[in-house]
Amino acid sequence: MATFVDHVTLHLRAGNGGNGCVSVKREKFKPLAGPDGGNGGSGGDIVLVADPNVTTLLGYHRSPHRSSANGGPGMGDHRAGFGSELMELSVPLGTVVKDAEGNELADMTEPGFRIVVAPGGQGGLGNAALASLKRKAPGFALLGTYGWEGDIQLELKTVADVALVGYPSAGKSSLIAAISAARPKIADYPFTTLHPNLGVVDAGEVRYTVADVPGLIEGASEGKGLGLEFLRHVERCTALLHILDCATLDPDRDPLSDLDVILGELAAYPVPEGQKPLLERPQLIALNKIDVPEGRELAEFVKPDLEARGYRVFEISTVSHEGLKQLNYALAETVEAGRVAAAAAQAVKPRIVIRPKPVDDSGFVVKVEGGSFGNIYRIIGTKPERWVQQTDFKNDEAVGFLADRLAKLGIENELFKAGAIAGSTVIIGPGNGVVFDWEPTLTSTAELITAPRGTDTRLDDSKRRTSNERREEYFGRMDAKAAARAELIREREAGMWSTGEEEYNGDTLTGDGSVPVSPRKESTAE
């Protein structure tokens, strides 16, 4: 079972913001005392914290899915929704945080370093916060926005002063066990060390850390063996200690050839920008296993050649502890010199200049994209995307409020400049986003429109008639009336009906007892 993990992918989901509340205060003798809807609470952030007491990413390897709580919705009587607490995730020192595409976000090398990797959603405003002199009782509230959701990568690069490098089974684990309190697994087969081991060493008044990392073979910089798993943990070290096996049983190996292979792999590994190449860092050599007679002879034979190359060489034995004290103090001296140089470099670091936002930065971009039925105009920007999330599209007044906000931001003008016309397809946000059929008439003055709460007369389907349309409708009605009068006159002249002003004659009755009706004669003017 794994006990050390140095690379994981976290699946994070920050909490959503709570929705604002739509409420109107009602009291005795005050049926409409004004809006009193409270704001929604914010969702919880997810924060990474560099903790010196954490040494592995094993906990996140076993449970990579993490989510924070949502914010509470607002309530009436000006009661705001509860805000969720942030979630803190502790990571070891030396953890590099990357996004899903592998872009570096932060390098957590300082204790207590914090970074918000998944911000929570923003709570929506209630109708009390949206009220103004012209909009006294809004019939809508803003919705809470979604929290960040996605993947991040955590890559652990061991932070140590000295890295022990060498072939498998060269004695690196035995050395760190001999000079510190670390107890790594030690066996007589290659690649016993599968993950870095850290040990703290005291040399007089100097205390430093030593990293025992997996063994190195030829081709490690290309991923052979444990390759990159080894080299990743060498990046952060101040000095390198080459452990050369002087008692190897492999006839094709010797300390000089082993050193050449190791140097070639260190030279081929690219370090991050701003760091020293591995071969430019202080390097010492320890010729190990001199407790074996053949090993001592070989160490004495190759030591002059190594010193001629400019290295400080120490003959040691991790079994008898011979030569370890001299090596310990030499390493402490090298580490102390590196710390002094690092402090001087820190003192002359350039100042960080924070530049304000440009005055001509509108905060959004209009992109024209081709489509099957004409151009599509996509709006990308933090504010428009957030405003769309906050809008309740079932409420006409909320939609009108969104139209006013977008127009005041200048989106209408930018769409005109981009060539959009009435009816053009507009998408706000990346991907599928929110699709609109753009109507440039929805521009402003929502506060001045008198309509029931929750409605906006600008969004009604009724269309205002023009003067020509009204004139044509009037003439049509007049023609219909004239045709009806002409028909009545024709029927009357044909004797089909009378006006009812006939002369009554009591002697003349019809068979059913009613008085017969005769057509009325109209007099014409001479």
> Is 377 annotated as belonging to a binding site?
no
Q: Answer yes or no: are the C-beta atoms of 92 and 155 closer than 8 Å.
A: no
Cα–Cα distances in angstroms (integers) from residue 521 to residues 246, 486, 504, 505, in the given order: 145, 18, 15, 17
> Is 20 annotated as belonging to a binding site?
no
> Is 445 annotated as belonging to a binding site?
no
> Is 314 annotated as belonging to a binding site?
no
How many C-beta atoms lie closer than 10 Å to residue 174's C-beta? 19
| Tokens found for residue 509 | 């009755």
> Is 238 annotated as belonging to a binding site?
no
Is residue 120 helix, strand or coil? coil
> Is 224 annotated as belonging to a binding site?
no
| Tokens found for residue 485 | 């009068």
> Is 171 annotated as belonging to a binding site?
yes
> Is 467 annotated as belonging to a binding site?
no
> Is 172 annotated as belonging to a binding site?
yes
Cα–Cα distances in angstroms (integers) from residue 378 to residues 148, 404, 443, in the given order: 21, 18, 19
For residue 392, the one-letter residue type is D
Q: Give the whole-angstrom CA distance, residue 10 versus residue 16.
A: 19
In 359-465, where does DSSP find H-type helix?
A: 382-389, 396-409, 411-418
> Is 78 annotated as belonging to a binding site?
no
Q: Give the whole-angstrom CA distance, residue 249 versus residue 305.
A: 22
Q: Answer yes or no: are the C-beta atoms of 456 and 403 closer than 8 Å.
A: no
| Tokens found for residue 257 | 């050839």
CA-based angle 165:170:176, to the nearest 5?
Answer: 65
> Is 321 annotated as belonging to a binding site?
no
Q: Give the whole-angstrom CA distance, residue 440 versus residue 415.
A: 9
Is residue 97 helix, strand or coil? strand
> Is 170 annotated as belonging to a binding site?
yes
> Is 215 annotated as belonging to a binding site?
yes
Q: Answer yes or no: are the C-beta atoms of 128 and 40 closer than 8 Å.
A: no
Hey, which residues does 374 pair with through a beta bridge? Answer: none
> Is 466 annotated as belonging to a binding site?
no
For residue 171, the one-letter residue type is G
Burial of 14 (0-12, 13-18, 19+ CB in 10 A): buried
> Is 366 annotated as belonging to a binding site?
no
Q: Give the whole-angstrom CA distance, residue 49 versus residue 517.
A: 108
> Is 524 annotated as belonging to a binding site?
no
Q: Give the whole-angstrom CA distance, residue 380 versus residue 428.
A: 6
Please state whether beta strands 376-381 and 364-369 pair in parallel, antiparallel, or not at all (unpaired): antiparallel
Q: Give the whole-angstrom CA distance, residue 380 versus residue 358.
A: 18
> Is 289 annotated as belonging to a binding site?
yes
* End-to-end CA gap in the chain: 125
> Is 257 annotated as belonging to a binding site?
no
> Is 489 annotated as belonging to a binding site?
no
Length of the chain: 526
> Is 167 annotated as belonging to a binding site?
yes
> Is 97 annotated as belonging to a binding site?
no
> Is 166 annotated as belonging to a binding site?
yes
Q: What's the CA dihedral at 20, 22, 28, 31 to 10 degrees?
A: 150
> Is 188 annotated as belonging to a binding site?
no
> Is 195 annotated as belonging to a binding site?
yes
Annotated binding site for GTP: 166-173, 191-195, 212-215, 288-291, 317-319
Annotated binding site: 166-173, 191-195, 212-215, 288-291, 317-319
Annotated binding site for Mg(2+): 173, 193
